[in-house]
Amino acid sequence: MFKRNAWFTGITNVFLLIPVGQSLKTAITVRIVDLVVDWTMASTRYRGTSLLQRLRILFLAVVLGLAGCNLFDNDNNDNNEPPLETGLQTISSGGAEREYFLQLPSDSDDGNSIQASALGDDTRKPLLFAYHRYTGSYQYWVGANRPSDLVDVVGDEAIFIAPKGLEDAADKRTWGGQADVDFFFDILAEFDRRGLQYNPNRIFVAGHSIGSEFTHQLGCNHGDVIRAIVIVAGGLLKNDCVGSAAVMMFHGSNDPLTSDNSAAASRQYWVLYNGWDVDAFVPAYEGLCDDYSFPDQPDNVPYPVLWCEHDQGHQWPSFASETAWDLLRGLPEMEPTPAAPPGGGAERATPPVDANLTFQINVPAEINRPLTSEIFLRPLSFIDNPTCSAPDIVLGAASVEDLLIAGEVSEPITVPITYALSGVPEFPSDDWALIITIYVEGGGGTSGISIPGVDYDLAVPVSLVAENTDIVMSDVLDITPVVNVCPF
């Protein structure tokens, strides 16, 4: 009896490794279970066995049946749709048809790695989402003339996903709204529904420019899903993060679009949020980066923060792909958690409010519904000579949806401001241009990029006296449509 039972178990286990279709494999597995049950309970060959022995064989049959269903169906791919393949994919998300490019490893079969499917999460391939820059598309990552070699460096070591952004009011593709967050999760749901095998503990996200700001947003708001983020030329716009994610940031010291202050503030936030010290770091990757997570286990820190400064401007730097993938592939296996890393968290990382800014706005009659505001500081010369550049200092943001009414002068609006939001080392006492941008319905508020002719702004001089001194604008301020000063 033992020999036949062992022979049967071995044959069934071999069957589970055969790369046949999901539905067919499940059906055959169920039939195997039926045969084993009949054989165990009814065959005359087992009339001399004990009840315990029969129950053991019955238990084996149930386990094999469950294994056959779960290991290969991955959410019971019973919708009779074909398996996912490498190429451009289209799904419905938020009532719109959204596109993403899917690059499957060449060692996969019908969208599944055989070994990964059979052996569990630790051998399934990770997911790597890559978000393009403003005006770009998935071709930025996978096109013939792609400026980034990330997909080439990753090769067959991950499932590569390059989503395509929605067009804004200026007909430029961008990222940042709730629709894009939903799109991210809809892609994951599509993978599960279609039976694509991947490691849910190793979901990585990378982005460039506006794509990196959205990557910041995903890593901040959904650190309970995302294992790590890679940032190139972008700043963090939020400070109420949850979960735990490893972070690697690339910043160009000569980047005209992402200011040093904004990038430094993002670095400071993540270093503190992940439980590290902003004054403690060591060189990494042959001096290309600073590693803020060295005090514990240099090669196995679950949530490291690395800062890689370069002189290649706003571009995807030449060493970014190799360096980033080396970090991502070496991260230890960690289950997603809603908790912040030990010793860190949003409360520790968020700088305190320094003062308040109070102002009134003369709202144009023809404006779309105002939604949010952002307050910046730029050099005083910006008022007469605006340039295409990132704000020098970000002071704060606030909702104005119920405060600004078309054709009316608003009541006084008070917004808390924090100079440390932009990582400035000391209080910037001087004369500045105060910029207030009003993002409206149909504008760029969800992405942090104002849309010329749609969103509104103003620029007025302001003198900063002391860090904790409130700023009160005595005159009613006029806002006008944003003027396009950028070449894109």
The CATH number of residue 328's host domain is: 3.40.50.1820
Buried b (16+ CB within 10 A) or exposed e, 115-138: ebbbeeeeebbbbbbbbbbbbbbb
Query: What number is the average pLDDT over the span 321-347?
Result: 95
Do 305 and 366 belong together in one domain?
A: no
* Distance of alpha carbon 362 from alpha carbon 238, whole angstroms: 28
- What are the counts of helices (DSSP H) followed by strands (DSSP E) for the chain? 11, 20
Do 328 and 389 belong together in one domain?
A: no
* Distance of alpha carbon 310 from alpha carbon 288, whole angstroms: 8
Q: Is residue 487 in some structural domain?
A: no
Predicted local distance difference test score (pLDDT) of residue 388: 85
Domain count, the chain: 3
Q: Residue 159: enclosing H or E segment and its boundaries?
A: strand 159-163
Q: Is residue 114 in some structural domain?
A: yes
CA dihedral 114, 120, 122, 128 (to 10 degrees): 60
Q: Express each pLDDT in 230-260 by its tens digit.
A: 999 998 887 889 999 999 999 999 998 888 8
Predicted local distance difference test score (pLDDT) of residue 385: 93
Q: Express each pLDDT in 72-89 by its tens digit.
A: 344 445 467 789 999 999
Contact 340, 273 (CB under 8 A): yes
Q: Is residue 81 in some structural domain?
A: no
Domain boundary among 322, 349, 376: 349
Do 136 and 245 belong together in one domain?
A: yes
Q: What is the extent of the structural domain holding 20? A: 2-73
Do 362 and 285 belong together in one domain?
A: no
**Which of the pair, 447 or 4, is modelled with greater confidence?**
447
Report residue 236 as tokens: 């963090």
Residue 6's Cα: distance from chain center in Å? 47
Report residue 163 as tokens: 């989503």
Q: Express each pLDDT in 256-272 by its tens digit.
A: 888 888 899 999 999 99
Q: Is residue 79 in some structural domain?
A: no
pLDDT band at 109 (very low <50, low <70, confident <90, very high): low
Do 210 and 236 belong together in one domain?
A: yes
Contact 300, 262 (CB under 8 A): no
Do 318 and 199 belong together in one domain?
A: yes
**% of the chain with per-residue pLDDT over 90:** 65
| pLDDT over threshold 50, residue 23 | no
pTM of model > 0.85: no
Give the Å distances, CA to CA, from 152 to 143, 248, 431.
11, 19, 48
Residue whose token pair is 């996912």: 84
Do 209 and 164 belong together in one domain?
A: yes
Contact 241, 273 (CB under 8 A): yes
Do 93 and 237 belong together in one domain?
A: yes
Q: Please provide the size of the chain in residues.
A: 488
Do 343 and 368 belong together in one domain?
A: no
What single DSSP character describes residue 154? H
Q: Is residue 124 in some structural domain?
A: yes
| pLDDT over threshold 60, residue 296 | no
Do 417 and 437 belong together in one domain?
A: yes
Do 175 and 315 belong together in one domain?
A: yes
Do 95 and 151 belong together in one domain?
A: yes
Domain boundary among 302, 318, 349: 349
